[in-house]
Structure 1
Amino acid sequence: MKQVIIATKNEGKAKEFKDFFEPYNINAVSLLELPDNIPDIEETGGTFEENAALKAETITDLLGTPVLADDSGLVIDSLDGRPGIFSARYAGETKDDQANIQKVLYELENVTTEKRTARFVCVLAISIPNKETIFCKGTCDGSIASFPEGEHGFGYDPIFVPKGYSKTMAELTPSEKNNISHRKNAIIQLEDWLKGIY
């Protein structure tokens, strides 16, 4: 089985990528499964693309192996695109999903339903030794609910209602979410690359 390193220590994200890669007979190994000597890479980029490339290329340089990194976040139109690249730490330096959700809901307190449009964005960067980094971008359009609902997923899933649905991402089953997620839409673009490489 071929292997690709997934540059994440987020268990939820790691599992989603494992599920996505399994049909291609590719073993996706997250940073959680590697020795602890891989440093946390500071996301100093100004865009999703820059941050994803930074992570993928740094780890490829360290390990000399193909690495896939993603940078993803929630873009809310009425907040001028925030939280955007700061989605994971929107409420502070410690990653706290609940605090992030509460901050978004507070900022949208007086915003009407039709103006609560938003999208999840995912940019994948695939770094292969001695080759140019490949990028794929996926989005999932929707809107922000007035309060959290649902037990599944992670991050902002409990307040994000995908377009065409009447329930939040966190109320969908994992397979329902995987079919429409921004990450899935980015990975669809990888299919030709996967077939070519593997």
Structure 2
Amino acid sequence: MELCFATNNQHKLDEVAAWLGDLFTLKTLRDIGCTDELPETTNSISGNSRQKADYVWTHFGVSCFADDSGLEAEALNGEPGVNSAHYSGSRDTARNIQKLLTNLSSAGSRRARFVTVFTLVLHGVEHQFEGIVEGQILEEPRGNGGFGYDPVFLPDGSDRTFAEMSMVEKNAISHRSRALAKMVAYLKEQVK
């Protein structure tokens, strides 16, 4: 079965391909001739994921899936949430982290969670799969790995931030991996 992953990010593509094995032929946006900038204009992570997958299905008629992720801080009413990638007004990671730490400096709670939602549109029928990792935001960054807010996010049950873990360790417990595992299990049921 052919499936399009609504991304051109090779790292994401390789990660998903490893999970899917050879049951599926994975295509990128480029592979299906999509050079459009996919819309992400909703006010929720699940909404943006849905919007991207629906766009590919509507405009290209290809079964596909898309994902969106964000960090939600409890004391900030879920911020940065859907705006995680450009929380500071730019895509500069250091500035985004600094804004988060500044906004949490007087907060009573440092609880937060990472959320990923995959939306699968399979032959026109939509399914969503969510992965969540609970944790807290540290007062200063630790570690050099990962990306985004990983240096300040300490997952529950760990003494290391995502940025202090190897990619294999992080992927074993990450929000993306949890959502992806649910979607892959569903897809494998469809081809039995």
- TM-score, normalised to structure 2, is 0.88
Residue 156 of structure 2 corresponds to residue 163 of structure 1: yes
- The correspondence for 1:127, drawn from 121, 129, 151, is 121
Please state if 1:75 is matched with 2:72: yes
Secondary structure of 1:189's aligned partner: helix
Q: Distance in 2 between matches of 1:166 and 1:179?
A: 15
Partner residue, 1:153: 146
CA contact (8 A) 2:16 2:180 kept: no
Between 70-79 and 54-63, the greater mean CA deviation after superposition:
54-63
Cα deviation, residue 123, structure 1: 0.9
Aligned CA-pair RMSD: 2.1
Aligned to 1:56: 53
Q: Is the deviation greater in 4-13 or in 44-53?
A: 4-13
Alignment of 1:78-97 (within 5 A): 78-92=75-89, 94-97=90-93
Find the aligned partners of 1:40 and 1:151 in 2 and give their Cα distance: 30
Distance in 1 (alpha carbons) for counterparts of 2:149 and 2:12: 13
The amino acid of 1:185's aligned partner reads R
Residues 4-13 or 176-185, more deviating: 4-13
Separation (CA, whole Å) in 2 of partners of 1:162 and 1:34: 36
1:109 equivalent to 2:108? Answer no
Letter in 2 for 1:123: V
Unaligned runs of 5+ in 2: none
Cα deviation, residue 3, structure 1: 3.7
Q: Percent identity?
A: 35
Instruction: Give the CA deviation at 1:180.
Output: 0.6
Preserved contact between residue 12 and residue 154 of structure 1 (Cα < 8 Å): no
Matches of 1:37 and 1:188, distance apart in 2: 26
Provide Cα deviations, 1:14-60, integer angstroms capped at 9, x if missing partner: 443333334x54344444x5487521122121222221111001112
Task: Determine the structure 2 residue equivalent to 1:16.
Answer: 15
Q: 1:172: which partner in 2? A: 165
Q: Distance in 1 between matches of 2:171 and 2:57?
A: 27
TM-score normalised by L of structure 1 = 0.85
Tell me what 2:175 maps to: 182
Deviation digits for residues 85-116 of structure 1, max 9, x if unmatched? Answer: 11111111x4222221111111112335xx20
Query: In structure 2, what is the Cα distance between the partners aligned to 1:158 and 1:88?
Result: 15
**Corresponding pairs, count:** 191
**Equivalent residues in 2 for 1:39-54 (5 A)?**
39-54=36-51
